[in-house]
Amino acid sequence: MLGAPARSLWRARGPLTRLYSSSQHPGSGLVEMALSRGDAALESWWVLGRLYHLVHKDASCVAIETVALPLPEQPHDANFWTRHSVDDELFCVTKGTMSLAVNDQPAIKYGPGSYLWQPRGTKHAIWPGSEEHLVYINVISPPGLENLFRAIGTDADIPLGILPSEAVMPTDENMEALFRLAPEYGIELFPPSSED
């Protein structure tokens, strides 16, 4: 059975990505719970050059703290896009600036304290929007996507709160596993444009 915050969050499903303040969004309680997770992650992985810390898991959702290292400014078509058919996502930016592009539209930048609702079926890409680390909590419901991250990622031994100076980039084996397993988790992939 879903807890009260989770029930409210998933009933709030809408057709478009929406920006909320923490006081407006019913899922903010889940993010607050993830932020009060203590000093240890349940598991950590490097996935596509980003550090993922699994910080909460229950029957209704998982919460993952994601750390993305700074990147030079780039066009939105230079990023990896995905579409999820099984899960909804709530993002809360805790440090840095998030560039979020939706349905092939230009990216919008969001700063710390921004809550973004991403319903299933929305094509999207996320990357750091400034030359500093981007840290955000990603609440995913229903749970399950963490199993894909575990299968395609590389175990990470970096504690919560530490911002790595360089990323562990995916190997060819990691990428092959991603393309092979993503459909099993309802993920459609749109790799970066290879045009020069």
Cα–Cα distance, 139 to 91 (Å, whole number):
6
The number of C-alpha atoms within 13 Å of 74 and in the hemisphere containing its C-beta is 17
What pLDDT, on a 0 to 100 scale, did the predictor assign at position 72?
63
pTM of the predicted protein model: 0.82
What pLDDT, on a 0 to 100 scale, did the predictor assign at position 61?
86
Q: What single string gives the DSSP state of each residue in 107-171?
A: PEEE-TT-EEEE-TT--EEEEESSSS-EEEEEEEESS-HHHHHHHHSEE----TT---SS--PPP
What pLDDT, on a 0 to 100 scale, did the predictor assign at position 131?
86
Hey, how many other C-beta atoms are within 10 angstroms of the C-beta on 188?
13
What pLDDT, on a 0 to 100 scale, did the predictor assign at position 14?
37
Cα–Cα distance, 116 to 98 (Å, whole number):
10
Average pLDDT per block of 10 residues along the chain, 196 residues long: 33 42 51 60 92 90 90 62 94 92 88 89 91 92 95 94 91 94 96 60
